[in-house]
Amino acid sequence: MMRTNTPTDALADEAVLLIGHGSRRETSNEQVRTLADGLEQRLDVPVDAGFLELAEPSIADAIAGLAPAVSRITVVQLSLFAASHVKADVPLAIEQARTEYPDVTIHNGRHLGIHPAIVDLLDERARAVETNIGVDRDTDAVAVVLCARGSSDPDANGDAHKLARLLYEGRAFDRVETCYIGVTEPRLTDALHATAKHRPDGVVVLPYMLGDGVLTQRVRDRTAGFDEEYPYVTVGTGDPLGTDSRLLDVLGDRWQEARTDSVRMSCDTCKYKVELDGYTEDVGGARAMLRALTHQADHADRESVDEQPHAHDAPEKHVAVCTNQTCAADGAPAVLERLRQHARDSEECDARITRSSCLGRCGEGPMVAVSPDGVWYGDVDEADAERIVSSHLDRDRIVSEIVDQTL
């Protein structure tokens, strides 16, 4: 339902739709609604919130609620970088709405992207961590690790590196590194190890995420684990962006761009528009549209996230089972099936279990490799599968008697 407001005459026939991703944690969804309320007060225009998945209302339902009351809707996207949601899913939903409501002008704004206000906000988050761990960039060697979500879109991952560089420029940090919590590399733990080799006085980990959700907690947990394992390095984790008022500055700019048709997208480095090495199969507007249609179906009717996992829900661990010729002959397919069965039956296990080609330990198999822990099990049989799940994947306790090697 659209909020009541008393906008200025020039904007009386306009509304704004703020689109968030949606989360299994209601606190994260409330952050989107809080930003919508703040943006409404900032713009003096009615602002509603809609979600791609996992929360209500959907984009279609939100537009359906606004369309009877206004002749213009400006969509503002609460996405950090331009990946498939920004490039495919949201545009598809808007095109469908334009067909359904031909008398309503619907403008599509871009993502938050790179903005000076966000760099300032990250700088402030880093200062808070420095205070907590007792270091000062002006007198100590302070390194920052900016941890983004990670994407299959190289354009989005490239923007994370650009943001990290802008945070470094003009500030007294010893270094600012970029990493990801999932999907692509380098991962957080690897970045922490690499940064620690430079022996900084303190390491500030900044989770580059909006809400305090599952991924942010993973950043905290893995940082805390590293801090415990390597006490000679002082490490602290900052807060996510949250509902800081500086985000309203960015959203206000994106609103103004959209309603004046001056949105500039990163088409020069978009894998749907140009051939990029390793992503040539994604080129073509038709492919992007097909991907958006199938992906939209994945979003629909997910009442239970646990029973209907989504590709976005990055697991804590990845288990690779060698099913190459030698391991297969020793029973690897049965081990793979048992691991998957026990993982499905477990309430604690958060792992993706896949087959792999040769792991280079022929004669020692079946081989089972658990990442990111770097633990390889050898000579695994069906009975060992239950122990790997119940001990290692559920409780992080290595099954030592079948360990082949650790990396």
Per-residue pLDDT for the chain (407 aa), expressed as one digit of tens each? 344 444 445 556 999 999 999 887 888 899 999 999 999 999 999 999 999 988 999 999 999 999 999 999 999 999 999 988 898 889 999 999 999 999 999 999 999 999 999 999 999 999 999 999 999 999 999 999 999 999 989 999 999 999 999 999 999 999 999 999 998 999 999 999 999 999 999 999 999 999 887 889 999 999 999 999 888 899 999 999 999 999 999 999 999 999 988 887 777 777 767 777 776 666 666 556 666 666 666 555 555 545 454 545 567 888 999 988 889 889 998 999 899 889 888 888 888 888 888 888 888 889 999 998 889 999 999 999 999 999 999 888 999 899 988 87
Q: Is residue 279 part of a domain?
A: no
Q: In the prediction, which pLDDT does 3 show?
A: 42
- Considering the domain architecture, whether residues 120 and 194 belong to the same structural domain is answered as yes
- Considering the domain architecture, whether residues 327 and 218 belong to the same structural domain is answered as no
Q: In the prediction, which pLDDT does 2 show?
A: 42
Q: In the prediction, which pLDDT does 290 show?
A: 63
- Considering the domain architecture, whether residues 98 and 199 belong to the same structural domain is answered as no
Cβ atoms < 10 Å from Cβ of 123: 17
> Domain count of the chain?
3
Name the CA radius of gyration of the chain, rounded: 24
- Considering the domain architecture, whether residues 134 and 222 belong to the same structural domain is answered as yes
With a CB cutoff of 8 Å and minimum separation 6, the contacts of 68 are none
With a CB cutoff of 8 Å and minimum separation 6, the contacts of 283 are 271, 272, 273, 274, 275
CA distance linking residue 75 with residue 50, whole number of Å: 10
Q: Give me the count of residues in the chain.
A: 407
- Considering the domain architecture, whether residues 124 and 216 belong to the same structural domain is answered as yes
- Domain with 135 in it: 116-237
- Considering the domain architecture, whether residues 107 and 120 belong to the same structural domain is answered as no
Find the angle CA(101)-CA(102)-CA(108) to the nearest 5 degrees.
80
- Considering the domain architecture, whether residues 121 and 79 belong to the same structural domain is answered as no
Q: In the prediction, which pLDDT does 284 show?
A: 65
- Considering the domain architecture, whether residues 214 and 250 belong to the same structural domain is answered as no
- Considering the domain architecture, whether residues 180 and 79 belong to the same structural domain is answered as no
Task: Dig out the tokens for 397 from the structure.
Answer: 């306790």
What is the H or E stretch that residue 237 is in? strand 235-237
- The CATH number of whichever domain residue 329 belongs to comes to 3.40.30.10
Angle of helix 59-66 versus helix 90-100 axis, rounded to 10: 40
- The CATH number of whichever domain residue 17 belongs to comes to 3.40.50.1400
